[in-house]
Structure 1
């Protein structure tokens, strides 16, 4: 029975590592897309840093990306930046690739 227990623990540990990696990549993606939006809104470097952190925090409101998309869309619209949800989703996808690349570069 010990063999099964060891395998189960190994799978659980691998799952936990995978979840942590995905969390870090998503948080990095959100920071990058926050910086992208801040640039579009013309924020200062200090405001950009604070805004990027706020975007990362917004992702904790609900599962999935809708909370981040709502925040970005609302803030960009309030700043008189014309943008569609499709453009925001495209930026999220682009920044997800960049975040994964940065994470892998950091690991290797």
Structure 2
């Protein structure tokens, strides 16, 4: 039975590691998205840092990416930035790849 127990523990460990990595990628991505949007809105460095944190917090409103996309799109249009929903979604995809790359390189 120990072989099965060892396999079960290994799968549980891998699952936990994968979930942690997914969480870290999402958090990093949201921070990068906040910095991207802040640059488009011409925010100061202090405002950029605060805004990036606000985007990370916005992700906890509901599951999925729609809460972050809504926040980014709403804030960008309110600031007078000409952007459409597709451009925001493309930025989400691009920043996901960049966040994953940064975390892999950091290991």
Shift of 1:66: 0.2
TM-score w.r.t. length of structure 2: 0.96
2:37: which partner in 1? 37
1:17: which partner in 2? 17
TM-score w.r.t. length of structure 1: 0.95
DSSP-derived class of the 1:81 partner: coil
What aligned pairs does 1:67-82 form with structure 2 within 5 A after superposition?
A: 67-82=67-82
Give the CA RMSD over aligned residues: 0.8
The number of aligned residues is: 107
1:85: which partner in 2? 85
- Partners of 1:21 and 1:75 in 2: how far apart? 28
Q: Deviations over 1:6-47 (max 9, x none)?
A: 211110111000010111011111100110000101110000
Q: Which runs of 5+ in 1 are unaligned?
A: none
Aligned: 1:60 with 2:48: no
Shift of 1:92: 0.8
Q: Which runs of 5+ in 2 are unaligned?
A: none
Query: Deviation above 3 Å: which 4+ runs of structure 1?
Result: none
